[in-house]
Amino acid sequence: MSLVQVISALNLAASFLLLARMVASKLFRIYPLLTAFISVDAIFSVCMAATPIRSNFYSYLYMVGTTVGLLLSIGVVMEIFSGALAEHPALAKFGSRVVGYVLIAAGFIAAGTLQLDEGIPKGQSVILHRFFRAERTVDFGEVLFLVGIGLFLIWFPVRVKKNIAYVLGGFGVYYMARSAGLLVINLLPPGYQRAVDNSMLGISFLCILAMAWLLRAELGQPVQVVRRDSAAAEHLTSQLREFNSAVARLGRRHI
Amino acid sequence: MTIQVVAVALAAAVFIAAGLAALAWKMSGRVEASGHGEASAEPGTFRAERYRPMERLLLAEEFESLAAQPGFTREIGEQWLRGRRKIFRVYLGQLKRDFHRLHASARLAVAESGEESAELVGVLIRQQIVFSVAMTRVELRFAWSALGFRPMDIRPILQLIDSMRMDLERFAPQSA
């Protein structure tokens, strides 16, 4: 049994462990798209394990599985986004207004990296090269979006469920590793592909295992948020007015 | 060239992945915290009197008045300016801290309020960006002025604070 087969088997085992955890703790009801994503990934992994690695069918299977996975992953990212802001109506409403723009911006930035692997290394399949290129760009766009969500949540201080934080971290690291790995595959000669594949699979295994270990049913309960009345905002306004008048007096001619 | 691109890409990937893991770690720790880190919906009392001395610290008239005194020398003037600038910087730091404290309180109040406060989110983001830019400009001008090249103008920061006040006044009644 080769190293890649061992790591693939470990990935599959971790995926089933995570699925079992999600079903047992009823998290699949809260995160249906994440559950679907892991299920689809596991199903395609099983199919690919039963297919000769050097066959055309294996490549097609990879491309179909990855495309379905990518579409689901966009849904998972949106699931993380809406889950994180579920307890904060003002932020959720603002988020729903700007999410399209943020996705477009993330897509543009990610597309800016397309030129990095324009050239096709000798011996690499043209179709696979282009597919990897498209896949890693979408992956990177998703990572940028997740970074944006994370920074936004930390900046406000927003209370989120621990599960949301773990899924954001696990999913983000997983896709960052994939994006970087596929770029490296597209840049280096085919001889390096196996080592890069093993690295990507290793990181994927760690991410799935971490999520399987960390996700807990009880932590999926809604976060208790203390609602504020207008008095807090009014107090702040008066404080900021004071602040302004203090600074306004500095608006004279200084040395 | 390819190796350099690979090295930079891998370094960037490690950096972003570590950042994401740190973000997730920080977010997961926030849930069990008793409050929201350093922010609080009760911003405490802001006392304008604290900044009153700043108004006169670097006024050109003050310096001109000193320079008109008999026995005034360039050394005395430079020493006077150095001392005043040092105190001004302390006040400026305190002013920044007060802005961040008030702004954090405003963010918390908005985060914990209803849909009607959604517009305030954009206002707060804009305030933070403009404040950071204006403060950087003030810091640069302060450093420039300390080298004795030109007088310092802190009007941009005043305009910012004024617009911040107007924004919050406009939206605060809706944030109930």
ipTM for the predicted complex comes to 0.71
Question: Which A residues 145-204 touch B at CB under 8 Å?
Answer: 146-147, 150-151, 153-162, 164-166, 168-170, 172-173, 176-177, 179-180, 183-184, 187-188
Q: What average pLDDT does the structure give for chain B?
A: 73
Q: Which of A133-142, A177-186, B46-55 has the lowest mean pLDDT?
A: B46-55
B164 vs chain A: nearest CA distance in angstroms? 8
User: How do residues B116-136 score in pLDDT, each as one tens digit?
Assistant: 788 888 888 887 887 788 778
The answer to whether A203 touches B51, Cβ cutoff 8 Å, is no
Query: How far apart are the C-alpha atoms of A147 and A141, rounded to whole Å?
Result: 10
What residues are paired with B59 via a beta bridge? A254
- Long-range interactions of B37-42: CB distance < 8 A, separation 24+: B37/A157, B38/B104, B39/A157, B39/B104, B39/B105, B39/B107, B39/B108, B40/B104, B40/B105, B40/B108, B41/A228, B41/A232, B41/B105, B41/B108, B41/B109, B41/B112, B42/A232, B42/A235, B42/B105
Contact B176 A227 (CB under 8 A): no
Cross-chain Cβ contact A157/B111 below 8 Å? yes
pTM listed for this prediction: 0.77
Residue in A with minimal Cα distance to B168: A237
pLDDT tens for each residue of A26-45? 889 889 999 999 999 999 98
Quick check: B30 pLDDT over 60? no
Q: Could you tell me the pLDDT band of residue A23, with boundaries at 50, 70 and 90? A: very high
With CB atoms and an 8 Å threshold, state whether B115 touches A150. Answer: no
